[in-house]
Structure 1
Amino acid sequence: MAIRFLRFIVLLIWVLLALNFVYPFPDNVTDRQALLSFKDSITADPYGVLNSWNNSIHFCRWNGVTCSLRRQRVTSLNLSSQQLAGKLSSHIGNLSFLRGVYLYDNFFHGIIPSQIGRLFRLQYLSLTNNSFQGEFPANLSHCADIRRISVFNNNLEGKLPIEFGSWTKLNLFSLGKNHFTGSIPPSVGNMSSLSTLNLNYNNLTGVIPLELAHLAKLEILFLQENTLWGTVPLPLYNISSLHSVSLISNEFEGTLPSDFGSNLPMLREYFVANNRFSGPLPPSIGTIPESVGELPNLVGLYLSDNNITGAIPTSISNITQLSVLSLETNMLQGSIPTEVFNISTLQLLNLSNNLLSGSIPEQNVGFSSQLVFLYLYRNMFTGPLPSSIGNLKQLVGLYVSNNRLTGDIPASLGDCVMLEELHMEGNLFEGRIPSSFKALQSLKIVDLSNNHISENIPRFFDELHLIEFLNLSHNRLGGEVPIKGLFSNVSRFSVTGNLRLCGGIQALQLPSCPVEILRKKKKTFPYKVILLVLIPLSILLACFAFIFYRHRKSKKINFPVPVLQENQYPRLSYKDLLLATNEFSPNNLLGEGRYGKVYQGVLEPLDHTVAVKVLDVEVRGANKSFLAECEMLRNIRHRNLIKIITACSSTDFKGNDFKALVYEFMPNGNLDNWLHQSPFCKGNEKTLTLLQRLNISIDIAMGLNYLHNHSHTSIIHCDIKPSNILLDEEFVARVGDFGLSRFSFATTLDVNQEKLSSTAVHGTVGYVPPEYGIGGKISAEGDVYSYGILLLEMFSGKKPTGSSTLLDDGNNIHNSVKNALPHRLMDIADPLMVLDQDEHGSTEIQSHNRDAMEVCLILVFEVGLLCSVATPRERIDISVAIKKLQVARDKFLHHGQ
């Protein structure tokens, strides 16, 4: 028995040793030498990612290197986004088991070595965003198993490779933004599995080869910014899988096919701007036949910069999911069909620079409630701007300049509280500037020049603090020019060409305003008596006023901040915070919001790092925000809510009001910086993993659940967005910035407005629920909507507003995700998250990871959709969202067990 026991112990030790040591295989030396040759060709490594490439550890554990578990051979080399500089070593061809090369977003230069053609197991080659030169390696055709090739944005030149026949498994081929010349070879039609072809931004010439129509699985075709010419082959419109086509900025001509819509049921985006297309828009572009709809999935139609004539067909209104309609810079005539404004999903409408005439439709303007940008400039529109324009609650940009519009500026524009740019120049508007404009607190650019606007310049303009430029030139304005706010800086406004103006700052060189002097008969004795009485009385009143002012100041200094029930720090003065933040140095600046700036500071003598939010008391609403945040944070305590340390309401050394809030410091910053390529990511942590995003999303929901259902009184946050989610050292999420929050019931503070007025829509564009934009009541359901949008953003990597959403996806983020599920799940998932999850372990592990990830993502996206539905009563409660997300996390962690 003793001998058997001894044998068992020896066997156990041998197994343990086998698990802890990597045994070398004969060819391991070749892989190691190839990697070291790769390192020797690197001339710059600012992040030190190759420091681990040394003899102290096995090369399979080097940063960016993945090996197969059984053979211990290199299968993946992922050093993307590391700012590496140098050349790509030819010894990479010796890594014979290599399946994936990911070197995108670096500074590699020189040629792509031909030895890469030896990698017959290669499946993924991503060299995007580097400076590679020379020709595309022709012998890459030997890699018959390759699935994705991306060399977008380099300096490659020469002709396109013609050896396409061997790439029968290739599904993505991206050579855009290089210097390739010549024509598109007919052999492109041999890539039978191709779904994405991107040849944008090259110097290609010639016609589109007919063979391109053989690509039956093609979904994305990008040929923009070349010099291709001729007509677009009609067979191309028979590829039923196409959902995005971009032919912008070439020399294509002829007419658009009248029936292409019926053959492209999956088409979502169609870009043919800046070509030579002519003739009328085909009426069939939007008709829906009884059997199958034509273009039922179209969300973006881009036909700008052509020579298209005729009228806009009313059948466009039948494209019920259309988000972007861009017909600018053509020769379109007639009026705007009222049916266009019936498209409820429309977010961007651009009809500018055409020959359109008639009036802007009145009765239907408000129907397109999602409209964000409306471009109608440089046409021949007449009549007034309809008052129903005020129904566009989501409108951010309105451009109606250089038309023949008449009448008064509609006061209803003041209801478009999200408006940032307003261009009405070059029309025949008259009357005064409406007082309702003072509600447009988001305005940045206002141009009302070259009209017939009269009366005085409203004083409220100097209270609109976000305005970057105000152009009131060449009108009929009169009276005194203000001197405060934006009118104190001549570079921020223009009033030239208004001959009846006076006063203003000296730089305007306007005449002084006349002063009416009432001349009365001199009554010496009474006049002197009045002076002798009034002067001492005025002095006495001034003394009382000064004493009262100092008394109020002292009360401000001793502002009772009620947030320190568990305080371990003394009350802080302005001087304390000045020293802690190195005199509010720009080097200490962490971020900036609507009400002030946030600085990193160190409280002495405790040497405790904090975040100091200094409010700009001059900004309207800042004081109320300060009081609201103090009140909100006084009694709430939760792991997923930001912890306030203290507050300071005092005066600075010049006697000015000073208000600040001091929070615990979050070393990993805010969520927005991590989702959208924050520069502070350390080492290989360039993005959040799927599991981290799951944990963070659950943390946020737990914080909201506490606010809505478990705090001393129900609290509505009103501004849930990534920049208000902070991450501690362990990536635990904390909900912050309670400056807009509201109690559900009355409090001692005046912060319980249940209904938002048109002048006080709270939140951030893109995250604000639709009911707030039309005066709806604030509610927990509103926070749930914002959370749903945030959830979709976290896992798709797409912001809900801006050009990336409107122009790339052609839809709002809710509809984009909804339309993609479940079959095109990986098209909407954040590619950085997918790469991070997909490129670890063996093929078997990768397969398991991909399956688990897809199961999880479907559940997560469904939660985001349930939270962000348009109708408040249809949204799920935040507690339900928590349970569903926890189920998704469990399925991901235990998939296949």
Structure 2
Amino acid sequence: MAFCFRPFLIFLIIFVLENSTTHVDAFANNVTDHQALLSFKASITDDPLGALDSWNNSIHFCEWNGVTCSSRRQRVTALNLTYQHMTGTLSPNIGNLSFLRGIYLYENNFHGLIPNEIGQLLRLKELNLGYNSFQGIFPPNLSQCVDLRKLSMYSNNLKGKLPTVFTSWPRLYLVYLGKNHFTGSISPSIGNLSSLHGLRLEINNLEGHIPVEIGHLKKLEYLDLSVNNLLGVVPLPLYNISSLFSVSLSVNELAGTLPTDLGFTLPKLQEFYVGRNKFSGPLPPSINNASNLVDFEIVENNITGPIPNNLGSLPNLQTLGLGHNLLGESMRPNDWSFFNSLVNCTNLRRLGLHESSLRGVLPYSIVNLSTTMEELYLYGNLLYGSIPREIGKLVNMRVLNLYENLLTGTIPESVGKLSKLSGLGLNNNNISGMIPTSISNITQLYGLRLQDNKLQGSIPTQLFNISTMEQFSLANNRLRGVLPEEVEYLSKCYYLDFSQNLFTGPLPSKIGSLKQLDVLDLSYNKLTGDIPSTLGGCVMLEELYLEGNFFQGKIPTSLKALKNLALLDLSNNNISGNIPTFFDGFHQIIFLNLSDNKLGGEVSKRGLFSNVSAFSVIGNSELCGGIQALHLDACPVNVSRNKKKSLALRIVLLLVLVPLGVLSACLACICYRRRNSKKLDDHVPVLKENQHIQLSYQDLLLATNEFSPSNFLGEGRYGSVYKGARESVEHILAVKVLNVEVHGANKSFLAECETLRNIRHRNLIKIITACSSIDFKGNDFKALVFEFMTNGSLDSWLHPSPSYQGNERNLTLFQRLNIAIDVAQGVDYLHHHSHTSIIHSDIKPQNILLNEDFVAHIGDFGLARFTFATTSDINQTQMSSTGVHGTVGYIPPEYGMFGEISIEGDVYSYGILLLEIFSGKRPTENSILIDGVGNLHDYVKKALPQRVMDIADPRTLLDHEEHGSTVSQTHSRAMMEVCLESIFEVGLLCSEEMPQNRIDI
């Protein structure tokens, strides 16, 4: 029996020894993981959201924020720290996390090189380093990670060549390397990625041809090579990838023709963008067979016609962009049968046929286009005839551009039925008659351009009641009459051009009410009287043209307030008096034209008057002095009897006023000492509600510890924010220091001062004061000082980390609801209850600040309505505004096409914010985009009402699940479900795609 037991004993000893060795190895490997994570933390120089606060020895590293471990071996398998805004470098020791399968560092501020040691992670499947500032080249050792499935280094500062051996990753599913500085060509080996579904290489510096091997990617669905320097012909096999639904090759140097069978070989095609290339040849007639087509855009090529006359068979078509081609050169005049077929495209929203050499009579069938039409571009063609009277049938039209044609007739009265119109461009035609008063019914109109026509009569005063008007041009017509005082109602207008007409009378005194005005052109009319001093109220003016009128009197001193002026033309008038000395200090001005007036006196030699190319004063016979290049007579130097009398008068005044001044000073000093003697025991003064204290550059320097990095709170579009403290103010301060070298920063400063001093609401950030000074080096210094918010931004509470397990940074359901109501009340005040309607343009969690009681305050007005880029081109042909305003994910769809901002745009952003607060998901979250839902709105809409609790942020349930009986929990959960469903419905109503379908705040 002992003999039989001995083998069993030996087996038992060996088993114990082996398992002991395994345990020791596992312990040693865990130590390696622990040290690698600590090295990662040590490389982080700034952690504003406290993402790594839990990374200490108080808990096991597998419980650290952002760290995921395997359950059996306790080895790190995933590192997820997205959206944390951390700054630092990526430690090479990350290569020691040998069990790592996923690295997610999306949207931070990592810089430096991507370490080669990352190639040691042989189990790595997903690597997402997008939206950082990584530099250097693509890490060559990454080719060792043979199991890689998803690779994203999108939007960094990487350079050098793309990988040349893509065969290293046979299972690669997604490759996102766009928005970097990669050079060279696309390697043919990319054709070996047989599992590839998505390839994004856009916005780089890639050259050469598109490799023919790309046609081997039979599972490819999404291809974006736009905005590069690719040339040559697109390989035909690419057009045979039947799985493709989105192709973007725009903005390259690609040539050749589009295949005639394009609509047959790409049956799933939904999006096709090849604009701004050198494609030639005919438009493929087979596109009408691509029945899934939604967007088709080939603008700015050399494509010829004819345009297929059966495009009406595309039921899903929304965007058809054919403009800036040679379509009309191969078509017979008046051959508009294709246009008639478009009447059947019941989902058509955007149609671009501009600058395409189209000829003939403007087709009457334009009025029969689908009522879904929002944008129609027919400008820059050779169209004649008149605008159909029934144009008002297109009730959803937002932009109608028919300018630069040969149109005649009058503007139809029915245009007033286009109540949703935001841009109307009829300029550069031969339209005559009166301006219809019905245009005043278009209450959302932001751009009205009727210049260069033959319009007559006076301006209907009702037009000035369109409070949304931003661009208003009537130049070069035959309009007459007096400019009405109602011009003051155009409070949001930044471009106003009434030049080259027959207007008479004085310039309206209330013109100074236009605080947002950038360009004012009233030149070559018959205006009379003095230049009103109120014009100095247009503090944003950059270009002012008053030449060619009959203005008289002196140049008002109030113009010295126009610190942004770049161009000022007062020539060809009857202006008299001396040239004001304040012009000497206008260093920003490009040209000052005072010629052909009745000015006299001495011309300065300082400032802009020291540069003869910066001004003109010819045609003023009474001027003298100035720089030698002007060839003016020297000013006489003599002391007249009048001057002697003046000197004697000054002496008498000095003898009388100086003793009186000394006496007054003594009395004031006595009063001051008596008053202060009663206040020796008073507390430190606290800032009153309507009192703005004065803080100098030195005060703010001391308050922020010399703008120390330890006081740094964040960085915005125009500057940086620091935390500060002052003994003279009870509040802790948030100091926003503007970078005055950034274009638009000075304008932003003036606008914020002007706006924030006139608004006050419980849910808006409170401005304490502003500082405009110079620093110790003599440079301009501008800062805004706000009350500091103890609990930081809403974003830091909604997204403390993607895998956060605790609830100490959690917001309850009722806290979230109160915050949502606070924000809504703040936005409502801006839209409807402030002195003028203000549009914030950047509603998002980062701009919602919470005080110690979690009361929400809207902050950061840097992109608000009052910040506009100017345009100096008075012949501007685009009816667009100043570019996209806001943050990706929160920007309403209409901003992407035109950039004009509106109250409805704020409501959209608020709706997305509301959905984010209660779902816990960012609008740009990968889980939403990868699932193919499209956006957060669609994600929530798809789940309601059956799965409302599935999409709700599970952290809202924590307080309810930890307390109460099972019955009360069940009842509470049912009540929460009803509540959340209602909240989500409100968010959906606010974030509707069409602005007119959104509810008011």
TM-score range, shorter chain: 0.5 to 0.7
Task: For 1:498 and 1:559, locate their aligned partners in 2 and report how far apart those are by CA, in whole Å.
Answer: 62
**Partner secondary structure for residue 898 of structure 2:** helix
1:834 counterpart (902, 920, 926) = 926
Contact 2:791 2:849 in 1 (8 A): yes
Contact 2:147 2:169 in 1 (8 A): yes
| Deviation (angstroms), 1:250 | 1.1
Judged with a 3 Å threshold, the aligned counterparts in structure 2 of structure 1 residues 161 and 375 are, in CA distance, closer, same or farther, namely farther
Match of 1:890 in 2: none
Contact 1:626 1:659 in 2 (8 A): no
- Letter in structure 2 aligned against 1:663: E
Match of 1:496 in 2: 570
Task: For 2:340 and 2:568, locate their aligned partners in 1 and report how far apart those are by CA, in whole Å.
Answer: 48
Q: Deviations over 1:290-347 (max 9, x none)?
A: xxx6343333333333323345445545543444333333332224455455333332
Match of 1:755 in 2: none
Judged with a 3 Å threshold, the aligned counterparts in structure 2 of structure 1 residues 186 and 337 are, in CA distance, closer, same or farther, namely farther
Task: For 1:330 and 1:871, locate their aligned partners in 2 and report how far apart those are by CA, in whole Å.
Answer: 30
Match of 2:276 in 1: 225
Q: Deviations over 1:380-421 (max 9, x none)?
A: 545444434224322222233344444444554432322112
Task: For 1:204 and 1:816, locate their aligned partners in 2 and report how far apart those are by CA, in whole Å.
Answer: 38
Contact 1:799 1:805 in 2 (8 A): no
Contact 2:474 2:497 in 1 (8 A): yes
- Letter in structure 1 aligned against 2:788: E
1:250 aligns with 2:373: no
Judged with a 3 Å threshold, the aligned counterparts in structure 2 of structure 1 residues 459 and 605 are, in CA distance, closer, same or farther, namely closer
Judged with a 3 Å threshold, the aligned counterparts in structure 2 of structure 1 residues 861 and 187 are, in CA distance, closer, same or farther, namely farther
1:202 aligns with 2:252: yes
**Partner secondary structure for residue 528 of structure 2:** strand
Matches for 1:540-689 after TM superposition, within 5 Å? 574=695, 577-578=699-700, 580-581=702-703, 600-603=723-726, 610-612=733-735, 629=760, 663-665=787-789
Judged with a 3 Å threshold, the aligned counterparts in structure 2 of structure 1 residues 13 and 433 are, in CA distance, closer, same or farther, namely farther
Task: For 1:89 and 1:731, locate their aligned partners in 2 and report how far apart those are by CA, in whole Å.
Answer: 46
Contact 1:285 1:316 in 2 (8 A): no
**Partner secondary structure for residue 702 of structure 1:** helix
- Letter in structure 2 aligned against 1:863: V
Task: For 1:180 and 1:366, locate their aligned partners in 2 and report how far apart those are by CA, in whole Å.
Answer: 49
Task: For 2:228 and 2:997, locate their aligned partners in 1 and report how far apart those are by CA, in whole Å.
Answer: 51
Matches for 1:70-89 after TM superposition, within 5 Å? 73-89=123-139
Task: For 1:217 and 1:248, locate their aligned partners in 2 and report how far apart those are by CA, in whole Å.
Answer: 22
Judged with a 3 Å threshold, the aligned counterparts in structure 2 of structure 1 residues 614 and 793 are, in CA distance, closer, same or farther, namely closer
* Greater displacement, 250-259 / 458-467: 250-259
Task: For 2:541 and 2:207, locate their aligned partners in 1 and report how far apart those are by CA, in whole Å.
Answer: 46
- Letter in structure 2 aligned against 1:329: G
Judged with a 3 Å threshold, the aligned counterparts in structure 2 of structure 1 residues 285 and 450 are, in CA distance, closer, same or farther, namely farther
| Deviation (angstroms), 1:549 | 14
2:550 counterpart (476, 482, 500) = 476
Contact 1:241 1:266 in 2 (8 A): yes
Q: Deviations over 1:473-510 (max 9, x none)?
A: 22222222212244666954523333311235255586
Task: For 2:671 and 2:540, locate their aligned partners in 1 and report how far apart those are by CA, in whole Å.
Answer: 34
Judged with a 3 Å threshold, the aligned counterparts in structure 2 of structure 1 residues 731 and 319 are, in CA distance, closer, same or farther, namely farther
Matches for 1:343-382 after TM superposition, within 5 Å? 343-352=418-427, 354-359=428-433, 361-382=435-456
Judged with a 3 Å threshold, the aligned counterparts in structure 2 of structure 1 residues 396 and 542 are, in CA distance, closer, same or farther, namely farther
| Deviation (angstroms), 1:536 | 8.5
Aligned length: 730
TM-score, normalised to structure 2's length? Answer: 0.58
Matches for 1:118-137 after TM superposition, within 5 Å? 118-137=168-187
| Deviation (angstroms), 1:374 | 2.9
1:806 counterpart (898, 903, 914) = 898
Task: For 2:104 and 2:804, locate their aligned partners in 1 and report how far apart those are by CA, in whole Å.
Answer: 17
Contact 1:670 1:723 in 2 (8 A): no
* Greater displacement, 545-554 / 496-505: 545-554
- Letter in structure 1 aligned against 2:280: W
Q: Deviations over 1:688-741 (max 9, x none)?
A: 99x99997998675146369999xx9x99866664796466999976336999x
1:702 counterpart (796, 815, 818) = 818
Task: For 2:471 and 2:421, locate their aligned partners in 1 and report how far apart those are by CA, in whole Å.
Answer: 14
* Greater displacement, 72-81 / 373-382: 373-382
Match of 2:493 in 1: 419
Task: For 1:304 and 1:703, locate their aligned partners in 2 and report how far apart those are by CA, in whole Å.
Answer: 47
| Deviation (angstroms), 1:57 | 7.1
1:864 aligns with 2:987: yes
Judged with a 3 Å threshold, the aligned counterparts in structure 2 of structure 1 residues 416 and 643 are, in CA distance, closer, same or farther, namely closer
**Partner secondary structure for residue 437 of structure 1:** helix
Judged with a 3 Å threshold, the aligned counterparts in structure 2 of structure 1 residues 484 and 81 are, in CA distance, closer, same or farther, namely same
Task: For 2:95 and 2:210, locate their aligned partners in 1 and report how far apart those are by CA, in whole Å.
Answer: 39
- Letter in structure 2 aligned against 1:195: F
Match of 1:334 in 2: 408
| Deviation (angstroms), 1:151 | 0.8
| Deviation (angstroms), 1:233 | 1.7
Q: Deviations over 1:51-88 (max 9, x none)?
A: 452437754476659xxxxx982111112232223333
TM-score, normalised to structure 1's length? Answer: 0.64
**Partner secondary structure for residue 194 of structure 1:** coil
Contact 2:469 2:492 in 1 (8 A): yes
1:796 counterpart (873, 879, 889) = 889
Q: Which has the larger radius of gyration?
A: 2
| Deviation (angstroms), 1:108 | 2.9
1:325 aligns with 2:376: yes
Contact 2:190 2:214 in 1 (8 A): no
Structure 2: which 5+ residue stretches go unaligned? 1-14, 33-85, 107-120, 383-404, 584-593, 602-651, 739-745, 775-781, 868-884, 913-920, 932-938, 954-979
Judged with a 3 Å threshold, the aligned counterparts in structure 2 of structure 1 residues 337 and 572 are, in CA distance, closer, same or farther, namely closer
Match of 2:605 in 1: none
Q: Deviations over 1:857-879 (max 9, x none)?
A: 997874334347899999599xx
Match of 1:268 in 2: 318
Matches for 1:256-295 after TM superposition, within 5 Å? 256-260=307-311, 262-278=312-328, 294-295=344-345
| Deviation (angstroms), 1:150 | 1.0
- Letter in structure 2 aligned against 1:440: L
Task: For 2:350 and 2:908, locate their aligned partners in 1 and report how far apart those are by CA, in whole Å.
Answer: 12
Matches for 1:16-55 after TM superposition, within 5 Å? 47-55=88-96
Matches for 1:734-813 after TM superposition, within 5 Å? 735-736=856-857, 764-765=864-865, 796-798=889-891, 804-806=896-898, 813=905
Q: Deviations over 1:794-849 (max 9, x none)?
A: 783326885x35269999759999999xxxxxxxx97742379869xxxxxxx99x
Judged with a 3 Å threshold, the aligned counterparts in structure 2 of structure 1 residues 51 and 665 are, in CA distance, closer, same or farther, namely farther
Match of 2:525 in 1: 451
Ranked by relative contact order (alpha carbons within 8 Å, sequence separation 6 or more), the top structure is: 1
Contact 2:731 2:787 in 1 (8 A): no
- Letter in structure 2 aligned against 1:343: L
**Partner secondary structure for residue 152 of structure 1:** coil
Contact 2:737 2:784 in 1 (8 A): yes
CA RMSD of aligned residues (A): 6.5
Task: For 2:530 and 2:660, locate their aligned partners in 1 and report how far apart those are by CA, in whole Å.
Answer: 38
Match of 1:234 in 2: 285
| Deviation (angstroms), 1:153 | 1.7
Q: Deviations over 1:137-185 (max 9, x none)?
A: 2232222322111111222223223345543432211111222222233
Task: For 1:203 and 1:694, locate their aligned partners in 2 and report how far apart those are by CA, in whole Å.
Answer: 52
Task: For 1:211 and 1:737, locate their aligned partners in 2 and report how far apart those are by CA, in whole Å.
Answer: 54
* Greater displacement, 473-482 / 332-341: 332-341
Task: For 2:788 and 2:453, locate their aligned partners in 1 and report how far apart those are by CA, in whole Å.
Answer: 56
- Letter in structure 2 aligned against 1:505: P
**Partner secondary structure for residue 159 of structure 1:** coil
Task: For 1:818 and 1:486, locate their aligned partners in 2 and report how far apart those are by CA, in whole Å.
Answer: 40
Contact 1:700 1:735 in 2 (8 A): no
Contact 1:300 1:810 in 2 (8 A): no
| Deviation (angstroms), 1:559 | 13
